A and B are shown apart, each in its own frame.
Chain A
Amino acid sequence: MSWISRFVALIGSVAAAATFAAANCAPARADAPLTAVYQGQSIRFSHIGSKDGAPAIGVNDPGFAALLHVTDSVLTWKPGERYVLITTSVPTVVSFAVGDRRYDIGPIVLQAAFAPYQRGNEVFLPFNEVLRGLDLALREDGAVKVLQPQLGTLDVRASRDRVTLLAHGGAPLHPRVVSQTSSAVTYAFDGVGTALAGTRQINAGGVRSVQIATSGTVRAPVTTVTVALQPGASARPPQNNGARDVALAINGAKASPQSIAEESPTPEPEPSGTENPGNAPIPNATPANQSAVVTGVTSQPSGAGATVTIAVNGNASYAWHRLRDPDNRFWVDIRNAQLQGPPVDQAAPSPIVSMRARQIDESTVRVALTLGQPSAVVVTPSANGLQIEVGNEEVSDDAARSGTGTIGTVVSSGEQNPALVTPAPANNGQYDSGTSGDTGWKFGPRSSYVPTNPRLIVIDPGHGGSDSGSEHGGLKEADLTLDMAKRLRDILVARGWQVKLTRETDVDVYAPNDSAHDELQARVDVANKAGARLFVSVHVNAFMNSGPYGTTCYISKPEDVPLARMLEAHLAQDGTKDDGVIKSHLYVTYHTRMPAVLVESAFLTNPSDYALLASAAWRQKIAEEIADGIDQYTRAYPASNAAAQ
């Protein structure tokens, strides 16, 4: 036997032995309970096992439940189920599956020391990997085991003029600045260890590098983050609000002091047309017949660059533009087209940074690319769509910055003149409760509904009685909506309308302490039984934080669209932001037979909107604008035509 044969045989023997060992050694077994200290609190884990020398934790263990509780995490698992999911406070989903060594922390796929296994009705998970998902690490302090919070992630978000370091820890973070000079700033995180120690070169946004180090003891670790600054850069004081997430912000030399505090999305270029928020834009007019459909937008690496494929079904024209370096954005507008499905907003292969696709108006789909460099871009149309090739070489200064063309079988752009049509309402005029597609009705503004009382308008003051709606700063939604509804009633009556309010005082419409369903149905019944011409529900919006503000008209049915559009047109002058018309599955607009709109007048949770809502003059203005919108609608869609609609 030659030495090569002997070597191969040796390798084979070792491999076979290793395979056998992996398959048979270290079977799962039960171990003694384990007690560990987390943030000064002792937690006893009794459902402990081990496999391949690594610890396992049973999902039914009371100590495990306590650990999840103190880390604001939630377990999703039922006996017999293969998947074990833990939602952490990041929030991130940590995913395990019985029999699979793979585990996921959000989008990151990792390999555990062993696959989760089942013993009886309980699944045992690899404990160290569970702790990693919770940004903890099991450390020993003499004879005592400690669950040491970790600085689990430090994401660097760099742009041209600033850097934001997003830190997340396994316990609330309290960063403090321990030293600051013109060339470096050092933050310390007390009580937090890390496995991220090392130096990362950034060289962008005012930051040269970030160095992470850890010191201290097992029970009192300290992690320091030292940011080496470029000339002229400055660090902002860190937040210290006791959250597990902290943003450390660095301004580059050219950034204004306040710029760091602003949002950092890349604004989409708007060379023409208007922004239409939302992925289901409600058109002002009926659309062109036989619109092309953008059925998909995908990206993939190709050669040294990347290719974006826009699949288009039908005939359309397109126009592309690009901005000059350093603003390396490219976009193509596909006209006479509808985007199928939700907007796209995702990362794309280098040299593309991100890719977005959305419907920017009733007949234009925009696909926008943010490029990491001034790359050459080649746009190639075909019968089935467009291919955009982004090369790795830089575009020359004299290269074209815009272009046009056609997709499909049209002769040339600009020659399409499809007739404007009003599609028939779905299901012969009766609104189909959602089983039909959603592409036709949005453009069918006319209603087949015939009011038995065409002079009657039903106004619904939202909430009331046992349900006061949202409350903030001493103001109650139910009071505000009733006030606005009464003002609206008075205006409409003065203009010759009959008006019925679903409630005239602070009461439940159906019965005290009734269910939300009974209450909402009672309001719908008022309008449906009366055969009212229109239904307008007046509400006040709210959110978990004070950010969102503005006026929104919510609708559910095709015939709601033109009324909502006309209300929106008048409400756009109300002093807060126009958030447009949004389709949703709201009970009262969905179940009323007549055109109906739910007006969310402003956000009680936003300071500036709150000030408006608190003003009687503003509430009067809102009432007048809704009345003006109703007047415009009823002039445009006179009741005498109702039977023909």
Chain B
Amino acid sequence: MRLPRFPLLVALLVIVAAAYWYFQSQRAPSGETMAVYYTKLDGTSLASVRVSVRPRASGESAAEHLHNQVLYAAVEAVTGPPNDIKAIRFPPGTHVNGVTLDGSTATVDLSKEVDNQAGGSFGESGEFKALVYTVTGIAGVDAVRVTVDGTRLETLPGGHLELDQPLRRADW
């Protein structure tokens, strides 16, 4: 007995479409995530938002991937959470020029706008705490050295925080 072809074709297409939808829905949405810390307005408590981390691409070496992750983490930390979240933020316009890695120490080069601190220990301490916690959240990084427009410095102008040594989580 010959079955009518058209209804079977439609049924098959529905099955294919359903299978496609199923496998798409089963895919991991975005893989790994990373905590981007920010310091709350009590001056010391940390909270975090999570952002998705791009997986290592083909042709991307482990060292390059680590560098890219550190860059992303530093940019996210300096950017801070969305505006409706109250947080200690880097001075307006502060951005990451680039990062380098030396062993487990990441050097984050910030733009000169970071010098425009309001004054007081409050902002400086909270800003760098969030940066250090975010960047050292990446496996293989345990310290963060800060430079400004490529120059090493011991403190910010008129500042309070010691920046001569790489900063670690244990400093807070």
Is B truly associated with A?
Answer: yes
Does A382 reach chain B (CB closer than 8 Å)? Answer: no
With most chain A CB atoms within 10 A of its CB, the pick from B44, B49, B72, B158 is B44
Shortest B112–chain A CB gap in Å is 13
A570 contacts B by Cβ under 8 Å: no
- The answer to whether the Cβ of A520 comes within 8 Å of any Cβ in the partner chain is yes
Min CB–CB distance B123 → chain A (angstroms): 6
Q: Shortest beta-carbon distance, A588 to chain B, in Å?
A: 8
**Residues from chain B with Cβ under 8 Å of A345 in the complex:** 47-48
Q: Does A44 contact B (CB under 8 A)?
A: no
Does chain B have a CB within 8 A of A515?
yes
The answer to whether residues A109 and B29 also contact, given A584-B125, A587-B160 and a CB cut-off of 8 A, is yes
Which residues of A are at the interface with B, using a C-beta cutoff of 8 A? 3-4, 7, 11, 74, 76, 78, 81-83, 85, 87, 90-93, 95, 97, 99-100, 102, 104, 106-107, 109, 155, 157, 166, 245, 247, 263, 277-280, 341-346, 358, 433-438, 463, 467, 469-471, 477, 515-517, 520, 539-544, 547-548, 552, 554, 556, 579-580, 582-588, 590-591, 598, 600, 603-605
Q: Give Cα A263 to B85, complex, Å.
A: 10
Contact A516 B159 (CB under 8 A): yes
B118 touches A (CB below 8 Å) = yes
A107 to B29, CA, bound (A): 11
- Are B30's CB and A109's CB within 8 A? yes
Instruction: Judge whether A584 and B129 touch: CB under 8 Å.
Output: yes
Decide if B119 touches A552 in the complex (CB within 8 Å). no
Chain B residues whose C-beta falls within 8 Å of the C-beta of A579 in the assembled complex: 42-43
Q: Which residues of A lie under 8 Å from residue B37 when comparing CB positions?
A: 342
Chain B positions within 8 Å of A166 at CB level: 84
**Which chain A residue lies CB-closest to B132?**
A585
- The smallest beta-carbon distance between A137 and chain B, in angstroms, is 21
Chain A residue nearest to B84 in the complex (CB): A166
Contact indicator A97/B44 (Cβ below 8 Å):
no
Residue contact B165 to A433, C-beta cutoff 8 Å: yes
4 nearest A-B residue pairs (beta carbon): A470-B119, A517-B154, A438-B170, A278-B44
Assess whether B171 is in contact with A584, with CB atoms less than 8 Å apart.
yes
Q: What residues of chain B lie closer than 8 Å to A85, measured between beta carbons?
A: 71-72, 75
Contact B84 A245 (CB under 8 A): yes
Interface size class of B (residues with CB under 8 A): 35 or more
22 A-B contact pairs sorted by A residue (CB < 8 Å): A82-B64, A100-B57, A107-B51, A278-B45, A279-B46, A343-B45, A434-B165, A516-B154, A516-B158, A517-B155, A539-B160, A541-B120, A541-B122, A544-B89, A544-B91, A544-B118, A547-B86, A585-B162, A585-B167, A585-B171, A588-B160, A604-B120
Given contacts A107-B51, A245-B83, contact A540 B120 (CB under 8 A): yes
- Which A residues are in CB contact (< 8 Å) with B123? 542-544
- How far, in Å, is B59 (CB) from chain A's closest CB? 7
Residues of A within 8 A of B5 (CB): 3
> Do A547 and B64 have beta carbons less than 8 Å apart?
no
Please name all residues of chain A whose beta carbon is closer than 8 Å to the beta carbon of B91 when the two chains form the complex: 544
Taking a contact as CB atoms under 8 Å apart, the answer to whether B41 and A548 are in contact is yes
CA distance in complex: A471, B158 (Å): 12
Which chain B residues lie closer than 8 Å to A279 at the CB level?
Answer: 44-46
Tell me the minimal C-beta distance from B5 to chain A in angstroms: 6
What residues of B have a CB within 8 angstroms of the CB of A78 in the complex?
Answer: 98
* Given A87-B79, A470-B118, CB of A586 within 8 Å of CB of B42: no
In angstroms, how far is the closest chain B Cβ from the Cβ of A54? Answer: 21
**Distance A341 CA – B98 CA, assembled complex (angstroms):** 27
Q: How far is the CB of B138 from chain A (nearest CB, A)?
A: 14
Roughly how many angstroms separate A97 CA and B86 CA in the complex, as a whole number?
30
Q: Which residues of A contact B156 (CB under 8 A)?
A: 516
A543-B79 in contact given A83-B72, A584-B125 (Cβ < 8 Å): no
Report whether A434 and B125 are in contact in the complex, using a CB–CB cutoff of 8 Å: no
A7-B9, A97-B54, A587-B161 known; A76-B122 Cβ under 8 A: no
B162 to chain A, nearest CB (A): 4
* Given A157-B84, A542-B119, 17 new contacts (CB under 8 A): A11-B16, A81-B68, A90-B82, A91-B82, A100-B54, A104-B52, A346-B49, A433-B165, A463-B158, A539-B120, A542-B118, A552-B121, A584-B121, A585-B128, A585-B161, A586-B121, A603-B120
Kindly identify which residue among B89, B121, B158, B170 contacts A598, using a CB–CB cutoff of 8 Å.
B121
Cβ A278 vs Cβ B43 within 8 A:
yes
Min CB distance, A451 to chain B, in Å?
23
Smallest Cβ-Cβ distance to A586: which chain B residue: B160
CB distance from A645 to the nearest CB of B (A): 23
Contact A470 B83 (CB under 8 A): no
Task: Name B46's contact: one of A342, A520, A556 (CB within 8 Å).
Answer: A342
A73 to chain B, nearest CB (A): 10
Q: For residue B56, give the distance in angstroms from its CB to the closest CB of chain A.
A: 10
- Encode contact with A along B145-172: 1 for CB under 8 Å, 0 otherwise: 0000000011111111110110111111
Q: Is the CB of B68 within 8 A of A82?
A: yes
Enumerate chain A residues within 8 angstroms of B78, measured Cβ to Cβ: 87
Query: Chain A residues with Cβ under 8 A from B47's Cβ?
Result: 343, 345
Judged by a CB distance under 8 angstroms, whether B12 is at the interface is: yes
Interface pair A280/B57, CB less than 8 Å apart: no
Cβ contact within 8 Å between B170 and A437: yes
Residues B119 and A477 in contact, CB atoms below 8 Å apart? yes
Minimum CB–CB distance from A525 to chain B (whole Å) comes to 14
| Neighbouring B residues of A588 by C-beta, 8 Å | 160
Task: Let me know if B170 and A586 touch, CB within 8 A.
Answer: no
B33 → A minimal CB distance (Å): 8
Q: Is B96 an interface residue (CB 8 A)?
A: yes
In whole angstroms, how far apart are the Cα atoms of A104 and B168 in the complex? Answer: 29
Our pick among B57, B75, B121 for the contact of A87 (Cβ within 8 Å) is: B75
